[in-house]
Structure 1
Amino acid sequence: MKILASAYACEPGAGSEQGKGWNLALEMARQGHTVTVLTCGSHHRAAIERYLQNNDVPERLTFAWHDIPGWPGPGYQNPHRIRQHYYRWQMTARTAAAELHAENHYDVIHHLTWTVLRWPSFLGGLGPPFIFGPVGGGESAPWRLRQGFPRRGMAFEFKRDLLNLASRLDPMALRCLAQADVILVTDEATRRYVPPWWQGKAHVVPDIYAPPAVGEPVFLSKASSDGPSILFAGRLEYWKGVQFALGAVARLRGHIPGLRLTIAGTGPDEAYLRAIAEEKGIAGMVRFVGQVPHAEMHRLYGSHDIFLFPSLHDSAGQAIGEAMAHGLPIVCLDLGGPGVAVDSTCGVVIETRAQGRPAVEQRIAEALAQLCSDRDRLLALKAGAFARAEQYSYRRRVEAMVEQFYRPSPTKRVAGSAATPRGRPETP
């Protein structure tokens, strides 16, 4: 098939959205499809061209650079006004996509990145079937779990709630959904933001991907003098839920000898989290290791036993796929994409319905305690994490995407299909 992939974020060797855009497009080409990637040149052209000079990629993978005249991308390290830049880029990309289609006659156009429902793409209605997503962003931090948020967090959540409500009336977002032949959403909460008359073409598809599996299932802490080791990796913002991880570890102090928590990442709420660790008397059990280069993350995954990811509204959370590829069982909340992607074969999903912060912290603590004390179950979940990682590999995900939503014609497929049952993802 001939595919036009819209990937504002797309870069080799990167994590998060940039890595996902690159790996999906590369895998499509490896599976024999002719792929043109429309991406932001000022953000990614130099890195992509440098990679192409030194590495072999399929000849059927090509790139089209699109930039906003007079406004280069602000970058990801200090992303001032990057959301405004992204929105404007999407609006101006339609002309570039139309010209590319007139020249290449694509079979399908797929919006890959960024993946937020309220941030529309304008590539529908150009002729080929248009796939939008997977997109998230409809999740919301439960009110009971907002207790203890920093003041900035309370204000941001309120603003986010208003933006999600406004998106239901946003003519640009509604136009995008109307023109999409297939709408892929990361979770049921986001799906509820799709108007009822388009629910039939909305499908729940986890937006989590895993690299090739690394290593074999082992219980690392039993092979050393150290106690069980727990890892969190992500941006240090209140909505990532690290405060729940700290509360859970505090409850286990004195009960599990040698227990330690490693926190990898930086962000605006690092001081807030360090203060919690000090207040709860667990600063000696917690290591803040800062931002770890993506290429070096395998070392951290390989030296820990459990991956704890208590995010409140992550649509994806690519660190989950990476952790599973290293055989780490996942402990997460039943919210957002992680709550859909993780099951009882590879981790523990903590129920949050009608629960306050103390109750959720206690449930996380109980799950960690059980895994740390039950070697057989931990090893079984490690093996399950490897298996789940294979299901979420880029190869398997692209195969499923093409089979389910590219052929036959997405329009024909959706017209004859029912909506996905509540909470049950279609893939992998």
Structure 2
Amino acid sequence: MRILASAYACEPGAGSELGKGWNLVCEMARQGHDVTVLTCGSHHRAAIERYRREHGLPARLRFVWHDIPGWPGPGYADARRIRRHYYVWQMTARKLVAKLHAETPFDVIHHLTWTVLRWPSCLGGLGPRFIFGPVGGGQSTPWPLRRGFPLRGWKFELKRDVANLLSRFDPMVLRCLAQADAILVTDEATRRHVPTWWRGKTFVTGDVYAPPVTSEHRPPAEGNGPELAILFAGRLEYWKGAQLALGAVSRLRRHVPRLAFTIAGSGPDEDYLHSVAARLGVDDIVRFAGNVPHDRMSRLYASHDVFLFPSLHDSAANVIGEALAHALPVVCLDLGGSGTAVDDSCGRAVAAEGRSPSAVERDLARAVLHICADADRLAAFREGARLRAAQCSYERRAAERIARFYLAR
């Protein structure tokens, strides 16, 4: 099968959306398909060419670089400018893809990244079957859980709510959805965001991926080491929910005297989270590890017992897949893609809708205590995490998606 994969974000050795784009296109090529990847050259060409020289590429994988004349990519740190760049990149990519299809026809055009419903693709209606997603972004933070947000968080959430509302009338979004043969979404909230007349071709499908399973994990506590080591990893923004994790840790401390909590990541709300830790009286057991390079995260996962990640609207948190692959049970909220990735065999997804922060923090703490009640139960959850990681591998996800959505007519 000849596939054109649109992956604005696509880079080897990276995490998050960049790594997802890269791993998916490589896996589809390994499975015997001819894969042409359209990506942003000014952002990713240097890294991909370097990887090609050092490691080679799957035999049936090729890249096409697309850039906006006179406007190189601004980099991922500049959120406002990169969103504008992405829109224009999408609009100017259509002519190039039409030309490529005329030269050597594709069977499928698949929009892989970015994965947000309100940031559409312009590659539908060119002839091949068009797959859009999986995309998320239709989630909204429950109002009770907005209590305690920093002012920046309140402003951002209101802007996001307005953006989601306006996207229901955005002609580019509506055209993209109309032209898609299949719309893949990460959660029910995003599916409800799709107009009712297109929900028949809209499917909820997992978009959390796990790397190969590892057998490394933290040995039992000895001496003065912590009885329980909990990890949070992610960008330090209020909507990632680290403040809820801190609230849960403050409750856990009453039951687990020797407790350690590591927060890996950096971001605009780091000072806010330091103040929350101090107010809750847990700053002595919380370690802010800062930004940990992706290639060093494995050691961090292996040195902890549980991954606590109460994100409020993550569509596809691949840190969950990475934690599962390191046999870490995951405790999260039943919101966004996290709630579909975690089941009772590998962790707990705590109910969040309509509940206060204190109630959610209490249940997060209870979930951690349940998982770690004794060594045998923790071992069972670790095994469940490994099995769930295998179900979320790139190999399995790619094969299932091709069989279910590429070949369907």
Asked if Structure 1 and Structure 2 have the same fold, meaning a TM-score greater than 0.5 normalized by the shorter chain, the answer is yes
Deviation at 1:367, TM superposition (A): 1.2
Structure 1 counterpart of 2:361:
361
Structure 1 counterpart of 2:305:
305
**SS in structure 1 of the partner of residue 221 of structure 2:** helix
Structure 1 counterpart of 2:148:
148
Counterparts of 2:220 and 2:353 in 1: how far apart (Å)?
A: 33
Structure 2 counterpart of 1:416:
none
**SS in structure 1 of the partner of residue 261 of structure 2:** strand
Counterparts of 1:253 and 1:327 in 2: how far apart (Å)?
A: 23
Conserved 8 A contact 2:347-2:371: no
**SS in structure 1 of the partner of residue 193 of structure 2:** coil
Structure 1 residue identity aligned to 2:270? E
Counterparts of 2:85 and 2:15 in 1: how far apart (Å)?
A: 20
1:274 aligns with 2:270: no
Structure 1 residue identity aligned to 2:335? L
Counterparts of 1:65 and 1:354 in 2: how far apart (Å)?
A: 46
Counterparts of 1:133 and 1:19 in 2: how far apart (Å)?
A: 16
**SS in structure 2 of the partner of residue 208 of structure 1:** coil
Structure 2 residue identity aligned to 1:220? P
Identity %: 65
Conserved 8 A contact 2:11-2:48: yes
Deviation at 1:303, TM superposition (A): 0.5
Structure 1 counterpart of 2:182:
182
Structure 2 counterpart of 1:7:
7
Structure 2 residue identity aligned to 1:315? S
Conserved 8 A contact 2:238-2:269: yes
Conserved 8 A contact 2:371-2:381: no
Deviation at 1:77, TM superposition (A): 3.6
Superposed counterparts of 1:234-383, under 5 Å: 234-383=234-383
Structure 2 residue identity aligned to 1:73? G
Structure 1 residue identity aligned to 2:121? S
Counterparts of 2:91 and 2:376 in 1: how far apart (Å)?
A: 53
Conserved 8 A contact 1:221-1:305: no
Structure 2 residue identity aligned to 1:268? P
Deviation at 1:56, TM superposition (A): 2.6
**SS in structure 2 of the partner of residue 220 of structure 1:** coil
**SS in structure 2 of the partner of residue 313 of structure 1:** coil
Deviation at 1:100, TM superposition (A): 1.2
Conserved 8 A contact 1:220-1:304: no
Q: For structure 1, which segment, 235-244 or 353-362, has the greater mean C-alpha deviation from structure 2 after superposition?
A: 353-362
Conserved 8 A contact 2:184-2:202: yes
Structure 2 counterpart of 1:403:
403
**SS in structure 1 of the partner of residue 372 of structure 2:** helix
Q: Structure 2 unaligned runs (5+)?
A: none
Counterparts of 2:187 and 2:278 in 1: how far apart (Å)?
A: 35
Deviation at 1:360, TM superposition (A): 0.3
Counterparts of 2:218 and 2:48 in 1: how far apart (Å)?
A: 38
What value does the CA root-mean-square deviation take over the aligned residues? 1.1
Superposed CA offset, 1:36-92 (max 9, x none) = 000000000000000000113222100000001111001124445111111111111
**SS in structure 2 of the partner of residue 230 of structure 1:** strand
Counterparts of 1:331 and 1:182 in 2: how far apart (Å)?
A: 31
Counterparts of 1:198 and 1:79 in 2: how far apart (Å)?
A: 30
Structure 2 residue identity aligned to 1:239? W
Structure 2 counterpart of 1:54:
54
Structure 2 counterpart of 1:196:
196
TM-score normalized by structure 2?
A: 0.98
**SS in structure 2 of the partner of residue 12 of structure 1:** coil
Structure 1 counterpart of 2:219:
220
**SS in structure 2 of the partner of residue 131 of structure 1:** strand
Counterparts of 2:79 and 2:338 in 1: how far apart (Å)?
A: 25
Deviation at 1:229, TM superposition (A): 0.4
Conserved 8 A contact 1:219-1:379: no
Counterparts of 1:79 and 1:138 in 2: how far apart (Å)?
A: 19
Counterparts of 1:105 and 1:262 in 2: how far apart (Å)?
A: 50
Counterparts of 2:218 and 2:289 in 1: how far apart (Å)?
A: 22
Structure 2 residue identity aligned to 1:281? G
Count, aligned residues = 408
Deviation at 1:194, TM superposition (A): 0.6
Superposed CA offset, 1:22-42 (max 9, x none) = 000000000000000000000
Deviation at 1:219, TM superposition (A): 5.8
Deviation at 1:151, TM superposition (A): 0.5
Structure 1 counterpart of 2:107:
107
Counterparts of 2:123 and 2:303 in 1: how far apart (Å)?
A: 44
Counterparts of 1:108 and 1:371 in 2: how far apart (Å)?
A: 43
Conserved 8 A contact 1:110-1:133: yes
Structure 2 counterpart of 1:134:
134
Deviation at 1:221, TM superposition (A): 3.8
Superposed CA offset, 1:258-314 (max 9, x none) = 111100000000000000001111101100000000011101011001001100000
